Amino acid sequence: MMLNLVPFVSVDHMMKLVHHIGIDRVLIDLAAEIEADFLRWPEFDKTPRVASHSDVGVIELMPTSDGETYGFKYVNGHPDNMKRGLQTVTAFGLLADVATGYPLLLSEMTILTALRTAATSAMAAKWLAPKGSTTMALIGNGAQAEFQALAFRAICGIREVRLYDIDPAATAKCVKNLAGRGLTVTPCRTAEEAIMGAQIITTVTADKQYATILTDNMVGSGVHINGVGGDCPGKTELHRDILLRSSIFVEYPPQTRVEGEIQQLPEDHPVTELWQVMAGQIPGRSSADQVTLFDSVGFAIEDFSALRYVRSKLAETGLGTMLDMIADPDDPRDLFGMLLRAA
Contact criterion met (CB below 8 Å) for 71 and 163: no
Task: With residue 77 as reference, give the H or E element that holds it.
Answer: strand 69-77
Which pairs count as long-range contacts for 44-52, CB under 8 Å and 24+ apart, including other chains?
Answer: 44/301, 44/304, 46/252, 46/299, 46/300, 46/301, 47/300, 48/252, 48/254, 48/255, 48/258, 49/255, 49/300, 51/232
Alpha carbon of 226 to those of 132, 173, 204, 237: distances in Å?
16, 22, 9, 11
Q: Is 48 helix (H, G, I), strand (E, B) or coil?
A: coil
Contact criterion met (CB below 8 Å) for 119 and 298: no
- Name residue 67's amino acid: G
Residue 48's Cβ-side half-sphere holds a number of Cα atoms within 13 Å equal to 15
Find the distance separating the first CA and the last CA of the chain, reported in whole Å. Answer: 26
Residue 303's Cβ-side half-sphere holds a number of Cα atoms within 13 Å equal to 30
Task: With residue 29 as reference, give the H or E element that holds it.
Answer: helix 23-38
> Among this protein's residues, is 231 annotated catalytic?
yes
- Name residue 317's amino acid: T
Catalytic residue among 29, 37, 165, 231: 231
Q: Per 3-state DSSP, what percentage of the chain is helix, strand, and coil (rounded to 5)?
A: 40, 25, 35
Contact criterion met (CB below 8 Å) for 317 and 17: yes
Backbone angles phi, psi at 334, to 5 degrees: -115, 60
Helices 23-38, 110-128: axis angle to 10 degrees equals 70
Contact criterion met (CB below 8 Å) for 214 and 242: yes
As annotated, the active-site residues are 231
